[in-house]
Amino acid sequence: MGANVKGVKVKKILAAAGLILLVIIVIGLGVRTFLNYRHGKKLERYLAELKASGRLVDISKLASPCRDVDNGALWWKAAESLFILEQGDKASLALASDFSDWNPFSSEDEIQLKALIDRNRKVIELMLEASTRPCFRYGDLQKPVLERQLPDFSLMIQATRLLIIDALFKGEAEQIDKALDEMLQGLAFARLCCDEPLLINFQISMANARLLLYNLNRLMSEAKAPVPTPALINIMKALDSETWRKAMTRALKAEHGGFCFGTYELVQKGELLPDINPVGWRGRLANWWKRPALKSEVIWVSEQYQKMIEAAELPFYKSEKEMILGGGKDIPSKYKLARLILPRIYAVVVKEATLEAMIDAARIGLGCLIYRNQYGKYPEKISDLLPDILKEEPLDPFTGQSLIYRTKEDGFIVYSLGTNQKDDNGKMSEMTQLVMDKDDDWSWRQNW
């Protein structure tokens, strides 16, 4: 009898617990459904307002019309199909990106590199021809980002190194005019490739431009005779940091548009976002449960995007405070999407500032060479170049102050302090300051 009573009590307790659990589940599901609807409507209204205000731009609207005859991407596609790389070639081409010193090529490297150039002469010619075109459309901008055809960026980097080494060999053969022209056309090709408003295009273009500038300095420093003033003026005209900052802003606007619409579609469909949730049924369940919060996070990340786009239009030293959030600081820990995206954008802005620093140092360095041609010596200070050679003094994009300029009897160095804003005596490194502390100056030097 007692056992039966206990059994009945246990059943009642279990039934009550089950009922309470069911009520909790129903309430939880109800709250989740309400929040999902509420945040979904909020996200819809937010995107509509962004679009109406012009702050959300369709990527296809950022690109000007591009006829086939004007499309440099068609020449690059032909170059891609012809590029031949054999075992060991990439290691040899990497010599073009050695920032540590300007060591001459070994006899073995020279033989291999010249054979590589001979095999791919048509590739260089096609790149040079592409550089004369006014636009670059490799893929269909009407298609979603994940479905759009993209250039082979690895080949583009290798081809740029090939062009650089070909120019260096021309310089060694005292064909300095041809060598300089090839370097400038390489820079024109790098600028052309970021005409397609995609952030990945812009990043590769920047990397190639930095490499070309570094080796342009090497080429001119190793020239056996002074470069004539008209050629120096021509090079200075080709170096415009404002063009790169505008291209970055456009790429960020395109990335923002793709993020807002692309992420919105993924969230609405309930699809997994890369690097946000684990795979498998647990991931699908987590994504379903977190979908309301994720919709809210899309709005938060979009707002940070807009702040960074506005800040990117300014020199880095004026915009760094706005960029700090993108560097990973003060991002709420629950915002995994933000932690995935914003630091990547911050890194792009830092690298663009690095390119600006190299361009500004190059313009001053070229001005010093013009001054030497005119007066037989290097200027004592940067202001000596004003206003006849330079209309105004370029400032360090990282500090807003004058670049460091030092001279000796037969040479000089001019450099930016870089992201660490410390004087590392003009030493440069390929590694990014975001990875570890390092020598972080960006210089132009002559006999230094």
Strand partners, 413: 406, 445
Dump the DSSP string for 60-129. Answer: GGGS----GGGBHHHHHHHHHHH----TTHHHHHGGGG--S--PPPPHHHHHHHHHHHHHTHHHHHHHHH
Average pLDDT on 73-92 reads 93
370-389 pLDDT tens trace: 999 999 999 999 999 999 99
pLDDT computed for residue 190 by the predictor: 97
Specify which residues 406 forms β-bridges with: 413
Judge contact between 338 and 303, C-beta under 8 A.
Answer: no
Task: Phi first, then psi: give them for residue 408, nearest 5 degrees.
Answer: -140, -175
Mean pLDDT, rounded, of the chain: 86
Burial 254-278 (b: 16+ CB within 10 A, else e): bbbbbbbbebbebbeeeebbeebbe
Examine the pLDDT at 272 and tell me if it is beyond 70. Answer: no
pLDDT number for residue 322: 63
Is residue 137 within 8 A of residue 79, CB to CB? The reply is no
Please give the Cα distance from 416 to 442 (Å, whole number).
5
Please name the helix (run of DSSP H) or strand (run of DSSP E) that holds residue 313, with its range, or none. none
Question: Tell me, what's the pLDDT at 436?
Answer: 43
Quick check: 112 and 88 in contact, CB under 8 A? yes
Please list the residues that pair with 407 across neighbouring strands.
Answer: 412
Q: Find the mean pLDDT for residues 38-53.
A: 87
Q: How confident is the model at residue 434 (pLDDT cuts 50, 70, 90)?
A: very low
Q: How far apart are CA 431 and CA 316, in angstroms?
A: 19
- Mean per-residue pLDDT for 37-41? 84
Residues 6 or more apart whose Cβ sits within 8 Å of residue 178 = 167, 170
pLDDT in tens, 152-162: 999 999 999 99
Burial letters for 299-327: b for 16+ Cβ neighbours within 10 Å, e otherwise? bebbebbbebbebbeebbbebbebbebbb
Q: Helix 316-323 to helix 336-375 angle, to the nearest 10 degrees?
A: 170
The pLDDT value recorded for residue 439 is: 59
Q: What pLDDT is recorded for position 210?
A: 94
Model-wide pTM > 0.75 = yes
Average pLDDT value for residue range 59-71: 87
Q: What percent of the chain is predicted at pLDDT more than 90?
A: 48
Segments of 309-440 assigned E as strands: 404-408, 411-416
217 C-beta neighbours (distance < 10 Å), count: 21
Is residue 431 pLDDT above 50, yes or no? Answer: yes
Can you tell me whether residue 442 is helix, strand or coil?
strand
In 3D, which of 56, 422, 103 has the Cα closest to residue 258?
56
pLDDT of residue 435: 43
The answer for 315, left when phi > 0, alpha when psi is -120 to 50, beta otherwise, is beta
Top-confidence range, 30-39, 267-276, 316-325: 30-39
Query: Has residue 264 got a pLDDT over 70?
Result: yes
pLDDT surpassing 70 at residue 106: yes
| Residue 145 in tokens | 């980002």
Q: Higher-confidence residue: 277 or 89? A: 89
pLDDT value at 1 more than 80: no
Give the model's pLDDT for residue 85. Answer: 92
Position with higher pLDDT, 272 vs 22 = 22
Task: Give the mean pLDDT of 165-181.
Answer: 95
| Helix, strand, coil distribution of the chain in percent, nearest 5 | 65, 5, 30
> Is residue 317 a contact partner of residue 397, using CB atoms and an 8 Å limit?
yes
Percentage, residues of the chain above pLDDT 70: 89
Long-range contact pairs involving 106-114 (C-beta distance under 8 Å, separation at least 24): 112/88, 113/165, 113/169, 114/169
Average pLDDT over residues 201-219: 95
| The pLDDT value given to residue 403 | 96
Does the pLDDT value for residue 339 go beyond 70? Answer: yes
Report which of residues 12 and 317 the model is more confident about.
Answer: 317
Band of pLDDT at residue 425, cut at 50, 70 and 90: confident
- What average pLDDT does range 296-304 have in this prediction? 89
Q: Average pLDDT, stretch 217-232? A: 92
What pLDDT is stored for residue 146 in this prediction? 67
Residue 176, pLDDT > 90, answer yes
Closest CA to 165 of 203, 216, 131: 216
* Count of beta carbons in the 10 Å neighbourhood of residue 10: 10
Element (H, E) at 425: none
Answer with the residue of higher pLDDT: 127 or 144: 127
DSSP 151-162: --HHHHHHHHHH
d(CA 123, CA 3): 91
pLDDT band at 367 (very low <50, low <70, confident <90, very high): very high
- In this structure, the number of other CB atoms found within 10 A of the CB of residue 153 comes to 16
The domain limits of the chain are: 67-136+150-225
